[in-house]
């Protein structure tokens, strides 16, 4: 099975994606991760203004199969939270790279993005 991995993403080994846009990084879980989890039934996210550290847990995603921690791909301050996924957790399954995003982070150190996997490297990891 082939999973979508957009070219403009960097990915943490734990399956969280990061899309950088002018110092802000939007974060979600990959198509592969949502497929492995199955139907997502609950998402717990931090509040705006919270500090997150790279590779530190920032929330939880719960599915019919498992409960998994969500890890921040970069360090910084949470600048936006997608309230829609709290109300409609199925968005994570339906559109993991679009409407199913989780948080946005104002990045402390843009160089942290370089430590993340490229779409190609992530594709090899999940192959």
Closest Cα to residue 37, out of 14, 9, 8, 54?
14
- Classify residue 111: in a domain, yes or no: yes
- Classify residue 50: in a domain, yes or no: yes
- Classify residue 7: in a domain, yes or no: no
Classify each residue of 32-69 as buried b or exposed e, where b means 16 or more C-beta atoms within 10 Å of its C-beta: bbbebbeebeebebbeeeeebebbeebbebebeeeebe
Please, what are the averages of pLDDT over each run of 10 residues along the chain (127 residues)? 91 97 96 97 98 98 96 98 96 98 97 96 95
DSSP assignment of 55-92 equals: T-EEEEEEESS-EEEEE-SS-EEEEEE-HHHHH-TTHH
Q: Which two tokens stand for residue 17?
A: 């994606």
- Domains identified in the chain, total number: 1
Q: What is the DSSP letter of 33?
A: H
- Classify residue 8: in a domain, yes or no: no
pTM: 0.95
- Classify residue 98: in a domain, yes or no: yes
Find the CATH number of the domain harbouring 57. 2.40.50.100
Q: What is the DSSP letter of 114?
A: G
Q: Given this model, what pLDDT does residue 19 score?
A: 98
- Classify residue 6: in a domain, yes or no: no
| Neighbouring C-beta atoms of residue 5, cutoff 10 Å | 20
- Classify residue 9: in a domain, yes or no: no
- Domain span holding position 47: 22-118
Closest Cα to residue 17, out of 8, 25, 7, 27?
27
- Classify residue 85: in a domain, yes or no: yes
Whole-angstrom distance, CA of residue 80 vs CA of residue 103: 6
């Amino acid at each position: 099975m082939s999973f979508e991995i957009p070219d403009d993403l960097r990915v943490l080994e734990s399956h969280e994606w990061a899309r950088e846009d002018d110092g802000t990084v939007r974060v979600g879980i990959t198509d592969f991760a949502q497929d492995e989890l199955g139907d997502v039934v609950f998402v717990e996210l931090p509040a705006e203004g919270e500090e997150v550290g790279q590779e530190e847990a920032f929330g939880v995603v719960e599915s019919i199969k498992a409960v998994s921690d969500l890890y921040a791909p970069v360090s910084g301050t949470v600048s936006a939270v997608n309230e829609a996924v709290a109300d409609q957790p199925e968005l994570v399954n339906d559109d993991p790279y679009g409407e199913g995003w989780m948080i946005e982070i104002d990045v402390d150190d843009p160089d942290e993005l370089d430590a993340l996997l490229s779409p190609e490297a992530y594709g090899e990891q999940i192959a």
